[in-house]
Every structure is written in C-alpha cells, then in structure tokens.
Structure 1
Amino acid sequence: MSRDIRRVPVDFDWPLNKVWDGFLLPDELRLPPCPACEGMGWSPEAKLLQNRWYGKAPFRPEDRGSEPLTVETPGVRAFAERNVAHATWFYGEGEAAIVREAHRLSSMWNQQWCHHLNQADVDALVAAGRLMDFTHTWSREDGWQPKDPPHVPTAAEVNAWSLSGLGHDSINQSVVVHAELERQGLSDLCPNCNGAGEVGTDEQRATYEAWEPTAPPTGEGWQLWESVSEGSPISPVFGDREALIGWLTTDYSWGAQRTPLTREQAEAFVGLGHSIGSGVIASDGRHFSGEAAVAELRGGTP
C-alpha cells in the first residue's frame, strides 16, 4: 500500500481516483459462488459455531462449562468503569451508570462463545501456537521464548483476558471452531464445494487462472498513483519530472501526507519511484508519511 510514480502518455486521461480497469478482474470471469455456503466455503456446522463465537446464534455459557458473567465480574466491572469515565456525556455518571453499562456488557458477552472457552478450547489454541502472552516471555534481545517451566493457561485465565483488551482474533476463532468440529467428527468444509466457495467448471477455472492484470500504457508523462486500492492515478499527468516535483511541493495532500512535501522529500520520492508503504515510525517515535520517509531513510534518520 504505497504511492508510485508511473510514466504514462502525456495525453493519458484516465479519471483520478478511479481504479484502472486493467487491474480489475472482469465480472464475466468471476467464478460462480457455491449456493450452499454462499461462497464462504464453510460447512453448516462450522457456520453455526462461528456465529456462536460472535454472538450471532444462540449460545449459553453453561454449555461450555463456563459461569455466566455478571455486573460483579471484575473484568466486566473494570470495562464498564472505563467506558463511563471516557464518555459521561453518553453513559451518565456515578454508580448507577456503571452498573447499567456492566449489565449491558455482561448480557452481550454472555451471548458470545469467545468469552466462555473451556479447557479443550484453550488447549487447541496453545497447540496452534496462539496465546503467546500466556505461554512465552518476550524481550528485545531474545524475542519470544517459551516459559520454563512450560505454562498452559486455564480457561478461566483466558476468559478473563478476553475481557481486558482486543481479545481473540479471527485466527483464534478458526482454530477453536476447527478443533471443536474435529472432536465431534465433523468437517468445517462445505460438502458441496469442498471449501472452495465456488462451483465453476474446469473451463471457467482455467480462464480465471489465466487472467493477468494489464498495466496502463507507458509514455513520456509523469503521474502519481496510489496502490492502497488495486491502483489509481491521484495526480495530473506532467510533462516532465520537475513539474511533478513542483506539484508535490505545492498542491499535494493524500492519505497520511496532509501537507505538501518539501523539495528534498519530493526529489527523493520521485527519484526512488515509490513511497515507503503508507507511513514509517522512526526509532525516536516520529511519524513520516511513506512519501516523506524516502528522504528520511536515505539520510539515515529513522
């Protein structure tokens, strides 16, 4: 995801901020989605468990051997206090506001499997190399190292942790759902498409696989493109390098680069031909847009 300098014809007139058609797979080449799984590739049993994980299907903590959360649960109480303190204009103030928010949180989280794992779920995550905060220590010198003696967290530890921050990601969900289905002797793949999510013919698949993106035409012009999407122009076409640099130092503002570049930054950026991603955080904590970072990195600052 960066910005790139492209050489295009001087009279190239593709609309700004519109993805170049050659970068997009034509609709007629898209493979028909599997009607059984709606193109997702999951079995009905897997989809049900995924929905229970996120609270989109009926779930009871007791079914996983977990105690329902209450307004007195420490993690619930702490989260409610934080929410109220940060937005009294919305939640109100005082104990009544905290209890009301704690009730909302506990009711919501009691409907989600992700906050009520049992030990088998936790063991599956540990076996998959997840939950590193529990099983490893980290240092700048040695990176992640297994705890000695080894530590396998309890379900209670992990469930409390899930209330305190970002919690589980979609990888954890996939690991736990797969392990649960495996214990039940079931598959997580759609039986109709075997997990492919599509039901195209061999001929359709061959045509799909053979497609390759087509770059815009080349020429003597200079133009700035973004590749955050599939790729689109974000500047006029300039007749020479100097004109593009002049535009970058006077009129340019895009993404993290909210003000025009300095002359030094623009020359370094155009000279390299692309930005350093969308942005760079230097070792001293300073933040540079991907365009400005080119000059900084060449100078050895970050």
Structure 2
Amino acid sequence: MGREVRRVPLDFDWPFNKIWDGFLSPDRFDEEKCPDCANGYSPRAQNLYDLWYGKIPFDLATTGSTPWGPDTPAIRTRAEQNIANAPEYYGSGEPAIVREARRLADLFNGSWSHHLAQEDVDALVAGERLHDFTHTWTRENGWQPKEPPVVPTAAQVNEWSLAGLAHDGINASVVIRARCEREGIDDTCPTCKGYASLEKYEGQRAEAEAWEPTEPPKGDGWQLWETVSEGSPISPVFAAAEELADWMSSPAYTWGAVKADSDRPSYESALSFVKSGWAPSFVSTAQTGVVSGVEWIGAQGD
C-alpha cells in the first residue's frame, strides 16, 4: 500500500480517488450467496467457527482450560495499556484498570481461540502456524526451525494469544478443520463445496479466475496514484517529472495524511520519489522513526 507514479496520456481524464475500472472484477462474476452456509463451512464447522470467535457460549471444560482472571499478568498489562491510550473513554486510575481487566477476562473466557486444547496446538504446529514458538528469525536467514523441534504447550499458546496480534483467520481454519477431522465430520458445506456461493451459470467461476485486470493507457504524462485501494489517480497529469514533484511539495497536495506544510515532502524528496516510481505510505526505522514513504525514498538519494 502506498503511492506510485504512472505514465499516462497527457489528456487522461479519470476522476480523482475513483478506482480504475480495469482493476475491478466485473459484476457479472458475482455469484449467488449459498443458502446453506455463511462462509463455506459445514454446520459442525460453522458451530466451531462461532465458538472460536465467541459468537456463541463457549464451555472451557471442552478443552480443559483454566479461566483467565483480571489479575492474569497479560490481561492486567493490556488493561493498563487500554487505559493509558484512551483515558477519556475508559476513565483513569486503579478502578478503571480493574474494570477493564475484568471486561477483558470475560471477553477472553468466552472464546475457544484463547482456550485451545493440546490437540489444537499440535494442529497449528503441523500447519507451521506458530513460528513465534517453533522458529527463530534472523535478518540473514529469515525464519528457521528450532533444533531440536519445539512443540509449545496449550497453556503457553493460550497465554500468548492474550497479548494482541496472535491468532488470525488462517489459524482458526486450521484448528477447525483439524477438529472436524478428529471427529470424523466433513468441514465443508455440501451445497457450495466450500465456496460460500453458487454459480449463476455454468463456467462463471472459471471465467472469473481467468479474468485479468486491465492497466490504464500509457502515455507521456506523469501522474500520482494511490495503491491503498486497487488503485486510483490523486493528482493532475503533468508533462514533466519536475512538474509533478513541484505539485507534491505545494499546498495543492493534500491526499491521505498530508494536511499541513510540515506533512508535505520537499521538492527534492518528491522528485526522487517520482523518478523511483513507488513508495509505501509510511516507513519506520530505528534511525528515522515513522516517516512518509516519499520522504524515506528521497532520503535514500542523500
């Protein structure tokens, strides 16, 4: 996600902030919603999905897990962070922290995702979904498995899940499908075969899979596009790279987080970015802190 420079015709006139039609899959590929499922799961798998996310009551006894309390260190720490980040919403002081810790404990005790059994953890390890426990990471070699292999306990994984960004939708799917397999039950909706939708006509899905996006026309102009969405123009078309850089360093450039003069790149940074062609929205390093991607690209030329 970020910004990029596209070379388009000088008379290119697509509306600002409107996604280029060629990047959007045509409506004719939209299928009918499956009448028998919400997301491609069988009834039992859907039940497990709802338990995972706490959409229906979860019984800790089913996994043999111990309930969390407001004094659980990870919950207490998270409550303190929430209070510090938004005292105007949560209040302040010890009473607010205790109240928030109780809320978090109740929330986490209500979902399977924070109370896995060892079989669930084993499935995640087999699916290589617990790298924080089973691998080490270095800049030179990336993620590498630990030797000898490590299999974390359910208690370790459950406590880890309280900290924030832990389990995702893939982890949920791995655990749900493994549970269904252990129970000898199909995890897939028999009506739609797991797609959660039905073709309106035979071959519709194959046509959609074969579809490819169409790029905007190419030309001699220089134009700034955002790539946070599928892609849309956010500047006029200019005849020269220097003109686009000048525009980006002027008050006319107000897209996204750019609101004040201090948010805009210098002309030199903007020109470096234009010649580079792409920059992320933001870059964070130990040396610079959080800076705009355009400024970071510009600094690389210093």
The residue number in structure 2 matching 1:166 is 165
- Distance of aligned partners of 1:78 and 1:266 in 2 relative to their CA distance in 1, 3 Å threshold: closer
- CA–CA distance in structure 2, aligned partners of residues 209 and 92 of structure 1: 51
Task: Map residues 27-38 of structure 1 onto 2, 5 A cutoff.
Answer: 27-38=27-38
| Contact map agreement 1:6 1:225 (CA 8 A) in 2 | yes
SS at match of 1:217: coil
- Distance of aligned partners of 1:220 and 1:125 in 2 relative to their CA distance in 1, 3 Å threshold: closer
Q: What is the Cα deviation at residue 99 of structure 1?
A: 3.7
- The alignment's TM-score, normalised by the length of structure 2, stands at 0.84
The residue number in structure 2 matching 1:267 is 271
- Distance of aligned partners of 1:147 and 1:18 in 2 relative to their CA distance in 1, 3 Å threshold: closer
Bigger mean CA offset, 192-201 vs 236-245: 236-245
Task: Map residues 10-159 of structure 1 onto 2, 5 A cutoff.
Answer: 10-38=10-38, 40-84=39-83, 87-92=86-91, 96-140=95-139, 143-159=142-158
- CA–CA distance in structure 2, aligned partners of residues 222 and 140 of structure 1: 36
The residue number in structure 1 matching 2:216 is 216
- The alignment's TM-score, normalised by the length of structure 1, stands at 0.84
SS at match of 1:202: coil
Q: What is the Cα deviation at residue 87 of structure 1?
A: 4.8
The residue number in structure 2 matching 1:3 is 3
The residue number in structure 1 matching 2:283 is 280
| Contact map agreement 1:9 1:219 (CA 8 A) in 2 | yes
Q: Which string of whole-angstrom CA distances, capped at 9 and with x for unpartnered residues, describes residues 149-182 of structure 1?
A: 5432222222222223333222222221111111
Q: Which string of whole-angstrom CA distances, capped at 9 and with x for unpartnered residues, describes residues 223-276 of structure 1?
A: 22222212211011224444323212223243355633323223222223x223
Q: What is the Cα deviation at residue 51 of structure 1?
A: 1.3
| Contact map agreement 2:241 2:275 (CA 8 A) in 1 | no
- CA–CA distance in structure 1, aligned partners of residues 22 and 296 of structure 2: 30
- CA–CA distance in structure 1, aligned partners of residues 204 and 139 of structure 2: 50
SS at match of 1:276: strand
| Contact map agreement 2:241 2:271 (CA 8 A) in 1 | no
| Residue type at the aligned position of 2:215 | A
| Residue type at the aligned position of 1:252 | Y
SS at match of 1:237: coil
| Residue type at the aligned position of 1:279 | F
For the aligned residue pairs, the C-alpha RMSD in angstroms reads 2.8
Bigger mean CA offset, 75-84 vs 191-200: 75-84
| Contact map agreement 2:116 2:154 (CA 8 A) in 1 | yes
| Residue type at the aligned position of 1:294 | I
**Mapped pair 1:248 → 2:252:** no
| Residue type at the aligned position of 1:255 | G
- CA–CA distance in structure 1, aligned partners of residues 88 and 138 of structure 2: 41
- CA–CA distance in structure 1, aligned partners of residues 271 and 176 of structure 2: 52
The residue number in structure 2 matching 1:187 is 186
Structure 1, unaligned runs of 5 or more: none
- Distance of aligned partners of 1:137 and 1:209 in 2 relative to their CA distance in 1, 3 Å threshold: closer
| Residue type at the aligned position of 1:114 | S
SS at match of 1:130: coil
| Residue type at the aligned position of 2:282 | G
| Residue type at the aligned position of 1:53 | W
Bigger mean CA offset, 19-28 vs 86-95: 86-95
Bigger mean CA offset, 224-233 vs 91-100: 91-100
Q: What is the Cα deviation at residue 20 of structure 1?
A: 1.7
Q: What is the Cα deviation at residue 184 of structure 1?
A: 0.7
- Distance of aligned partners of 1:71 and 1:284 in 2 relative to their CA distance in 1, 3 Å threshold: closer
- Distance of aligned partners of 1:121 and 1:19 in 2 relative to their CA distance in 1, 3 Å threshold: same
